[in-house]
Amino acid sequence: MFETIKVKKESNIAVAVITRPETLNALNRQVIKDLSSLLDHVEQDHEIRALIVTGEGRAFVAGADIREQSDLDLEGGRKWGQIGAAVFRRLECLEIPTLAAINGFALGGGLELVMACDLRIAAINAKLGQPEVSLGITPGFSGTQRLPRLVGVSKAKELIFTGKMIGSVEAEKIGLVNKVVEADYLMAETIEMAKSIIKNAPLAVKYSKVAIDRGLEIDKCSGIAVENELFAMCFATEDQKEGMRAYLEKRVPQFKGK
């Protein structure tokens, strides 16, 4: 289905593995194209309720493909940045929860891909960073926008201005990743987290994601109004009736996403 991505479904969870290990899964045009096609596939398959993204081999994604970028001019750089940023924004805006299983290097465009996911689980040996300034460029796939929102302005400037790599333990400490696990347990832990999400009411999870993400882009009072409306919308769903009925009847709810 894709040239550079392998996808498998485990019940209602899709696992996408970027497969360019010979380049440490560097992002070239084909990977970006395949990521876009992956999002089409996920949006059309309504059985998928969570998406996990990871990499094959020693890296999650070690950055964008330098060979492809090295000869770009002003207009070429602008188009390349726009293409990557658009695909990552689509990933960020997926209705279902997305999780990055960071198995190794997540640098430059790789860290930007990580940050476009909702949740981030890292192997103990993972390395993360935005080293673009050492190549004479800025982060180009929205790293300057997402990193400050995750770790704060000062720490984001430190990481971007110095271009240094940090380990997964420090990344967890500053809020860049949610959890650090032993490498051998990375996928099992990530799948377990995904399962803990999809057992809940799909529409409630979807509305919660919308409320959080939209609220971060507007003032607090407007965000509260968004939450109030989404909260009210839950009461028009079958899942709300089932969830509360199951609670009162002391049984496990059977959600249908309706």
What does the pLDDT look like over 46-63, one tens digit per residue?
999 999 999 999 999 999
What pLDDT is attached to residue 239? Answer: 96
The per-residue pLDDT for 102 is: 98
Strand blocks (E) in the chain: 5-10, 13-18, 50-55, 59-61, 98-102, 105-107, 119-123, 127-129, 165-167, 179-181
User: What pTM value is reported for the model?
Assistant: 0.95
Nearest in space to 114 (alpha carbons), one of 30, 197, 178: 178
Contact 174, 151 (CB under 8 A): yes
Between strands 179-181 and 59-61, the pairing is: unpaired
pLDDT value, residue 37? 97
pLDDT in tens, the chain (258 residues): 799 999 999 889 999 999 999 999 999 999 999 999 999 999 999 999 999 999 999 999 999 888 888 999 999 999 999 999 999 999 999 999 999 999 999 999 999 999 999 999 999 999 999 999 999 999 999 999 999 999 999 999 999 999 999 999 999 999 999 999 999 999 999 999 999 999 999 999 999 999 999 999 999 999 999 999 999 999 999 999 999 999 999 999 999 989
Cα(35)–Cα(47) distance, rounded to whole angstroms? 19
CA distances from 173 to 87, 92, 162 (A): 28, 23, 19
192 among known catalytic residues: no
Beta pairing, strands 98-102 & 50-55: parallel
Q: How do residues 164-213 score in pLDDT, each as one tens digit? A: 999 999 999 999 999 999 999 999 999 999 999 999 999 999 999 999 99
**pLDDT at residue 64, as a whole number:** 86
Report the candidate in 49, 44, 51 with the shortest Cα–Cα distance to residue 7: 51
Residue 170 known to be catalytic: no
Closest CA to 101 of 183, 13, 38, 27: 183
Domains (ranges, CATH) in the chain? 5-198 (3.90.226.10), 202-248 (1.10.12.10)
Catalytic residue among 112, 158, 227, 249: 112
